[in-house]
Amino acid sequence: MSKPSTKAKIIDIADQLFYEFGYEHTSFASIAGEVGISRGNFYHHFKSKDEILSAVIDRRLMNTQQLLDDWHDEGKTAEGRIKCFINILITNRAKIKLFGCPVGSLTNELVKLEHSSLPGANKIFILFKDWLAKQFLALGHVKDAEKLALHLLARSQGIATIASAFHDEAFLYQEAETLNQWLSSYA
Amino acid sequence: MSKPSTKAKIIDIADQLFYEFGYEHTSFASIAGEVGISRGNFYHHFKSKDEILSAVIDRRLMNTQQLLDDWHDEGKTAEGRIKCFINILITNRAKIKLFGCPVGSLTNELVKLEHSSLPGANKIFILFKDWLAKQFLALGHVKDAEKLALHLLARSQGIATIASAFHDEAFLYQEAETLNQWLSSYA
DNA sequence: GTCTATATAATGATAGAC
DNA sequence: GTCTATCATTATATAGAC
């Protein structure tokens, strides 16, 4: 592994800070501080804050695709693969409890800013949705695959919202179990 | 009806703007502009921006309590009353599609700001939760009333998140129907 | 109670030396 | 590629006249 470039470091740190503190609340000063560079250096790599957001979204898209590919190898059955999705709520419980879902909370913010990167952020949702729909299709739900996929996506979003509002980790366990029960009625 | 005081007007406008553009993104200048007063006049009524947020949350708490009281009179049965809750997704579809849920999107933001008003905003969630739990209790779900209430709350949150991200009103109709079906299995 | 004028700090962004 | 210095703008907030 070669050492990460400054540009890669900026994207990595911005990704974290946008998640933990929100896009607008994260300043160049705080990113620069974390990366260990000066604010001026910043604009050598990115022309604007929006451009960093774009890069962060692209990074998240890549990471999400990688995650889905990994799940495809892990899960032997379509049901098992959907369970991988549900299980993020448990795997990422510590962060979800504190900051909610990275995708949902970002779109939530971009919606209110009427930000031009909302469609980009939505692409992450769509990656999940299409992947889930493929699994439901494999389970024989030819007509309802899309609907079931979006339904599950919404369910996971709501769980993350409530869990983060109340900083309630137990709720994540409880609702992940409820989702698995729901899934078994479709598998 | 006496004409609303300047203070009441500020709270009313701030409530709308916080919903549509977010708390942090809403400036004093924009509130003052909408109300039709100068920025300086502002601080005669509120000592800080946080204090306005507090007042907005108090207002939302009162309005929510009023809404729940109205539903109590409207719905003849516990099931009917829960359906009133589910039906907000339809009644408020135009705004939810554009800005999400006022409660969920506010807590989402306050979580990331680590804002001291998060517990206050959560009280709105708790009002809904306790009211819903009471209805599920009336339906005979003695042991699961709390769990079912929070589950339904989370479901509605997720639906609002997805609907606003994609500006998709049809999804609100589709999922409200799914929720009503879910409810009928508990009623 | 409302206004104008202003203080102060932080923001995103630029210019130019090294 | 990184830095320092700086700009223009905006933000919250204050002081004091009317």
Which of the 8 DSSP states describes residue B77? S
Chain A residues within 8 Å of chain B (Cβ atoms): 20-22, 24-25, 98-100, 104-105, 107-109, 111-113, 118, 121-122, 125, 147, 150-151, 153-159, 161-162, 164-166, 171, 174-175, 178
- Report the distance separating Cα A129 and Cα B133, nearest Å: 32
Amino acid making up residue A165: A
Q: What domains does chain B contain, in order, with CATH numbers? A: 57-186 (1.10.357.10)
Q: Would you state the pLDDT for residue B65?
A: 98
- The answer to whether residues A154 and B154 touch, using CB atoms and an 8 Å cutoff, is no
Q: What is the mean pLDDT of residues A113-124?
A: 98
Q: Are the beta carbons of A96 and A164 closer than 8 angstroms?
A: yes
Of B118, B150, B162, the CB nearest to A157: B162
Taking CA atoms, what residue in B is nearest to A18?
Answer: B112
Q: How long is the CA B31 to C1' D9 vector, in angstroms?
A: 19
pLDDT band of residue A20 (cuts 50, 70, 90) is very high
What does the pLDDT look like over A160-182, one tens digit per residue? 999 999 999 999 999 999 999 99
At a CB cut-off of 8 Å and minimum separation 6, what does B29 contact?
Answer: B39
Query: Residue B148: exposed, middle, or buried by beta-carbon count in 10 A (0-12, 13-18, 19+)?
Result: buried
Task: Show the 3-state SS of B8-60.
Answer: HHHHHHHHHHHHHHCCCCCCHHHHHHHHCCCHHHHHHHCCCHHHHHHHHHHHH
Q: Which of A20, A111, A175 sits opposite B112 (nearest CB)?
A: A20
CA torsion, ordered A92, A93, A99, A103, to nearest 10 deg: 40
For the residues B23-40, what does the mean pLDDT come to? 96
Q: Do B111 and A104 touch (CB under 8 A)?
A: no
* Residue A5: φ, ψ to 5°: -70, 165
Nucleic acid strand C within 7 Å of B47 CB = no
- Cβ–Cβ gap B164/A111 under 8 Å: yes
Structure confidence at residue A1 (pLDDT): 57
Q: Which residues of A touch B127 (CB under 8 A)?
A: none
- A139 CB and strand D closer than 7 A: no
User: Does B1 have pLDDT greater than 70?
Assistant: no
Lookup: nucleotide whose C1' is closest to B36 CA:
C2
Which residues 10-49 in chain A have a CB closer than 7 A to strand C? 26-30, 39-40, 42-43, 47-49
**pLDDT over threshold 70, residue B171:** yes
* Contact criterion met (CB below 8 Å) for B110 and B125: no
- Flag whether pLDDT at B74 surpasses 90: no
Question: What is the spatial distance, in angstroms and rounded to an integer, between the CA atom of A10 and the C1' atom of D6?
Answer: 24
Whether the beta carbon of B180 falls within 7 A of nucleic chain D: the reply is: no
Does the pLDDT at position B92 exceed 80? yes
The answer to whether some atom of strand C lies closer than 7 Å to the beta carbon of B92 is no
- Strand residues in A17-176 grouped as ranges (E): none
| CB-based contact A154 B147, cutoff 8 Å | no
**Average model confidence (pLDDT) for chain A?**
96
Chains A & B: contacts with CB separation below 8 Å? 125
**Residue B75 amino acid letter:** G
- Structure tokens given for B80: 């009917």
**Cross-chain Cβ contact A25/B112 below 8 Å:** yes
Q: pLDDT digit string (tens) for B116-133?
A: 999 999 999 999 999 999
pLDDT at B3 over 80: no
Q: Is strand C within 7 Å of residue B27 (CB)?
A: no
Whole-number mean pLDDT of chain B? Answer: 96
Total Cβ atoms within 10 A of residue B62: 10
Q: pLDDT of A126-162, one tens digit each?
A: 999 999 999 999 999 999 999 999 999 999 999 999 9
Separation in Å, CA A32 to CA A7, A17, A37: 11, 11, 5
| Contact by Cβ (8 Å): A171, A163 | yes
Q: Render pLDDT for A71-108 as a digit per residue (tens, 0 to 9).
A: 998 878 999 999 999 999 999 999 999 999 999 999 99
Nucleotides of C under 7 A from a protein CB: 1-6, 10-16
The pLDDT of residue B75 is: 72
Give the best residue of A111, A127, A186 to mutate against chain B (max B CB count within 10 A). Answer: A111
Say what percent of chain A tops pLDDT 90: 94
Q: Does B38 contact strand D, using a CB cutoff of 7 Å?
A: no
- Residue B33 pLDDT > 60: yes
pLDDT of amino acid B102:
98
